[in-house]
């Protein structure tokens, strides 16, 4: 478990062939996510990933990338959803990887660039585990076992859920943390430039992909510093300061907006003032096996991790053993707290347990390699494991019997619009215009591909109320229709006059009803007529057209020329008798008008229900062209 001449990759380059085999197996498994026949074209074509919240991240990634090219920031104002809302690093924070992938892909909406980025992150999994194991002082053989164990962990049910749900930010930050912790120990021992570069690179990636994961390492870094600071001189302190500088400074440009808009995503943890009691947080001894229950073979993993930690300690790599086990304990503790804290997403615990299990994979691999060496079958066993993974990754049959038998969840994700979805997109493009918004019937039954509607503005060039994310939790989502409710009220409780006023206020010209109760209510609305009836997943989908004059201008007159994440353009603007123009567009601080003599103010909802008011313009007189742009305050 140390770097003696016969145990390192540098001294025995043949071990690199094992790494190549491991990476090839991972490539086969990742390709199977995009296509049953493992075709590379499925990664590079223009079909988007529709599983989980991948569509939401792709949409926001396209907005952020375009804004970055135009203004040097990924924060922007999007008028095509929710009557206008601010796209910020807070909502949605998980789109940051997509923004990076699309910036590298040219700054436009390119599903292929996003898929290539996802492919690269998943390909990094075996590399990360092998690199982390080397930082912990494991031999080359034990490091290869750690890479295999890490792959099996990430292809297990909880790891696959992260991939399926679109939690690429958490996955990438977790891999960075996995490498960072053991290399902290290696740096304290060697003060080598290679260790410093690994620490700086992982810190940069960790802060970028998910700052919450990186801030969670604070107790580990604090303990590390208390132990090693008295043993080293100025170079050690400056080096750690340099790691922090490299990690944070390049991310300041977006973290400023992250802090500035912390209030945007609701509900906040602070809204739940009922802090769980210590008894509920600590729980009983029976609660912790339930936490680890999502990880296959967890008893062997935990036992092997603890025994391996002792062996790594005895081999001389004490700091690596302590820091890795402390990181696993910290992850389990936070997972327990998040599981009983009201208001937090229910899947945070599973994500943290996967991270804890990843830290345990390293010492567990050292134990297994030691046992195999004692039995004098280590190299043969490793060869069999690598061959088996290559067979599973590339030669398993269409029904994947070997994959399923080994508990590897590598079934294809939902990629590309279905025929029914393409038909609906075609109908919307044919029977609607940009003169009004489309009210989308959202549902929270998260079936496969449920979030595909987040890509509707890209596919149709239309504006929508609803369809972005039913769990967005923003105040701007108030005007949506979700689970048979409109603005939080049961749709059946709405009178016809109220619906008429709502449609005028938000300029609704069409309604897409996707559930029986919603279809029935709009069928009874006297100003709605059926345009076409389709189906989606065996359920009827009805497009209604509303018999009203569509306009985004509620008072005064103007021509709505264009609206995108860069600007809203009006022409032939004529104010009313009071010198005002009312727009069906959510107001936001920092919205500026050109020419500059036009004042932008907020106009409250007459019902007092919408927490976000609309835009009111004070215009001295007729203006041939008026542009609205948002400068984030």
Residue 135 lies in a domain: yes
Instruction: Measure the CA–CA gap between 462 and 54, rounded to whole angstroms.
Output: 20
pLDDT at 288 over 90: no
Alpha helices in 136-167 (DSSP H): 140-154, 157-165
CATH number at residue 507: 3.40.50
Residue 12 lies in a domain: no
Kindly indicate the confidence band of residue 6, based on its pLDDT and cuts at 50, 70 and 90.
very low
Kindly indicate the confidence band of residue 382, based on its pLDDT and cuts at 50, 70 and 90.
very high
The pLDDT tens digits of the residues spanning 537-568 come to 889 999 999 999 999 999 999 999 999 999 99
Residue 381 lies in a domain: no
The pLDDT tens digits of the residues spanning 122-177 come to 999 999 999 999 999 999 999 999 999 999 999 999 999 999 999 999 999 999 99
pLDDT at 1 over 60: no
Among the candidates 374, 407, 433, a domain finishes at 374
Who's near 24: CB < 8 A, 6+ residues apart? Answer: 390, 393, 394
Among the candidates 516, 546, 576, a domain finishes at 546
Average pLDDT of the chain to the nearest whole number: 91
In this structure, are 513 and 562 located in the same domain? no
Kindly indicate the confidence band of residue 270, based on its pLDDT and cuts at 50, 70 and 90.
very low
Q: Alpha-carbon Rg of the chain, whole angstroms? A: 27
pLDDT at 576 over 90: yes
**∠ CA 19-25-29, rounded to 5°:** 140
In this structure, are 354 and 436 located in the same domain? no
Element (H, E) at 530: strand 528-536
In this structure, are 456 and 524 located in the same domain? yes
pLDDT at residue number 318 = 87
Kindly indicate the confidence band of residue 207, based on its pLDDT and cuts at 50, 70 and 90.
very high
Residue 406 lies in a domain: no
Kindly indicate the confidence band of residue 269, based on its pLDDT and cuts at 50, 70 and 90.
very low
Residue 408 lies in a domain: no
Which has more pLDDT, 443 or 433? 433
Residue 379 lies in a domain: no
Rounded to the nearest 5 percent, the helix, strand and coil shares of the chain are 55, 15, 30
Among the candidates 517, 546, 575, a domain finishes at 546
Residue 145 lies in a domain: yes
**What phi and psi values does residue 423 have, to the nearest 5 degrees?**
-65, -40
Kindly indicate the confidence band of residue 272, based on its pLDDT and cuts at 50, 70 and 90.
very low
pLDDT at residue number 268 = 44
pLDDT at residue number 427 = 97
In this structure, are 453 and 580 located in the same domain? no
In this structure, are 432 and 364 located in the same domain? no
Q: Are 218 and 259 in contact (CB under 8 A)?
A: no
In this structure, are 584 and 493 located in the same domain? no
In this structure, are 541 and 588 located in the same domain? no
The pLDDT tens digits of the residues spanning 168-193 come to 999 999 999 999 999 999 999 889 99
DSSP string of 555-589, one letter each residue: ESEEEEEEE-SS-EEEEEEE--TTSEEEEEEE--T
| Lowest mean pLDDT, pick from 6-20, 327-341, 399-413, 474-488 | 6-20
pLDDT at residue number 473 = 74
In this structure, are 535 and 599 located in the same domain? no
pTM assigned to the model: 0.94
pLDDT at residue number 277 = 65
Looking at the 3D structure of the chain, how many domains does it have?
3
pLDDT at 346 over 80: no
Q: Are 182 and 320 in contact (CB under 8 A)?
A: yes
The pLDDT tens digits of the residues spanning 32-51 come to 999 989 999 999 999 999 99
Kindly indicate the confidence band of residue 2, based on its pLDDT and cuts at 50, 70 and 90.
very low
Strand partners, 562: 569
**What phi and psi values does residue 383 have, to the nearest 5 degrees?**
-60, -40
pLDDT at 5 over 50: no
Q: Are 498 and 508 in contact (CB under 8 A)?
A: no
pLDDT at residue number 8 = 66
- Of 165, 30, 168, the closest CA to residue 97 belongs to 168
In this structure, are 593 and 450 located in the same domain? no
Question: Which one-letter DSSP state was computed for residue 269?
Answer: G
Range of the domain at 601: 553-630
pLDDT at residue number 276 = 64
In this structure, are 332 and 478 located in the same domain? no
pLDDT at residue number 145 = 96
Residue 470 lies in a domain: yes
Question: Which one-letter DSSP state was computed for residue 175?
Answer: H
Element (H, E) at 360: helix 348-374
Which has more pLDDT, 7 or 263? 263
Which has more pLDDT, 407 or 541? 541
Strand partners, 570: 560, 626
In this structure, are 139 and 79 located in the same domain? yes
In this structure, are 343 and 231 located in the same domain? yes
pLDDT at 437 over 90: yes
The pLDDT tens digits of the residues spanning 71-95 come to 999 999 999 999 999 999 988 889 9
């Amino acid at each position: 478990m140390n770097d003696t001449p016969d145990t390192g990759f540098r001294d025995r380059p043949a071990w690199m062939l094992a790494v190549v085999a491991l990476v090839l197996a991972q490539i086969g498994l990742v390709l199977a996510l995009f296509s049953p026949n493992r075709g590379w074209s499925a990664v590079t074509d223009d079909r988007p990933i529709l599983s989980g919240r991948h569509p939401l991240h792709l949409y926001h990634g396209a907005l952020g990338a375009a804004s970055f090219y135009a203004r040097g920031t990924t924060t922007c104002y999007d008028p095509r959803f929710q009557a206008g809302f601010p796209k910020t690093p807070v909502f949605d924070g998980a789109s940051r990887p997509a923004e990076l992938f699309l910036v590298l892909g040219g700054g436009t909406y390119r599903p292929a660039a996003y898929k290539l980025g996802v492919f690269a992150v998943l390909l990094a999994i075996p590399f990360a585990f092998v690199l982390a194991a080397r930082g912990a002082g494991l031999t080359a053989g034990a490091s290869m076992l750690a890479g295999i164990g890490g792959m099996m962990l990430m292809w297990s049910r909880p790891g696959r859920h992260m991939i399926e749900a679109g939690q690429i930010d958490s996955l990438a930050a977790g891999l960075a943390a996995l490498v960072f912790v053991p290399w902290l120990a290696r740096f304290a021992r060697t003060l080598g430039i290679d260790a410093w570069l690994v620490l700086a690179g992982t810190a940069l990636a960790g802060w970028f992909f998910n700052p919450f994961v990186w801030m969670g390492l604070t107790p580990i870094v604090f303990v590390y510093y208390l132990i090693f600071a008295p043993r080293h001189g100025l170079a050690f302190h400056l080096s750690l300061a340099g790691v922090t500088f490299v990690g944070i400074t390049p991310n300041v440009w977006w973290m400023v907006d992250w802090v500035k808009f912390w209030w945007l995503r609701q509900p906040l943890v602070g809204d739940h003032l009922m802090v769980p009691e210590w008894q509920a947080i600590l729980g009983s001894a029976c609660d912790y096996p339930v936490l680890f229950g999502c990880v296959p073979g967890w008893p062997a993993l935990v036992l092997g991790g603890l025994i391996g930690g002792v062996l790594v300690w005895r081999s001389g790599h004490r700091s690596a053993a302590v820091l890795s086990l402390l990181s696993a304990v910290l992850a389990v503790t936070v997972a327990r707290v998040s599981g009983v804290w009201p208001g937090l997403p229910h899947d945070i615990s599973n994500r943290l347990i996967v991270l804890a299990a990843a830290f345990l994979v390293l010492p567990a691999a050292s134990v297994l390699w030691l046992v195999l060496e004692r039995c004098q079958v280590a190299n043969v066993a490793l060869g069999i494991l690598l061959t088996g993974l290559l067979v599973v990754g590339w030669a398993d049959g269409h029904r994947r019997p070997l994959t399923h038998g080994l508990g590897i969840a590598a079934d294809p994700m939902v990629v590309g619009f279905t025929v029914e979805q393409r038909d609906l997109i075609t109908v919307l493009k044919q029977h609607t215009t940009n003169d009004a918004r489309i009210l989308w019937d959202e549902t929270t039954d998260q079936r496969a591909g449920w979030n595909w509607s987040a890509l509707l503005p890209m596919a149709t060039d239309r504006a929508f109320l609803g369809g972005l994310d039913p769990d967005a939790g923003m105040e701007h989502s108030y005007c949506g229709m979700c689970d048979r409710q409109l603005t939080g009220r049961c749709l059946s409780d709405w009178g016809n006059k109220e619906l008429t006023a709502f449609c005028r206020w938000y300029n609704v010209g069409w309604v897409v009803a996707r559930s029986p109760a919603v279809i029935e209510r709009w069928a009874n609305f006297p100003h709605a007529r059926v345009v076409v009836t389709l189906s989606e997943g065996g359920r009827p989908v009805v497009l209604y057209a509303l018999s009203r004059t569509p306009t985004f201008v509620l008072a005064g007159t103007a021509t709505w020329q264009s609206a995108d994440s860069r600007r809203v353009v009006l022409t032939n603007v004529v104010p009313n008798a009071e010198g005002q123009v009312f727009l069906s567009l959510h107001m936001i601080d920092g919205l500026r008008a050109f020419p500059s003599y036009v004042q932008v103010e907020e106009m409250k909802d007459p019902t007092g229900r919408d927490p976000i008011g609309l835009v009111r313009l004070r215009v001295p007189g007729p203006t041939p062209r008026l542009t609205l742009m948002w400068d984030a305050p």
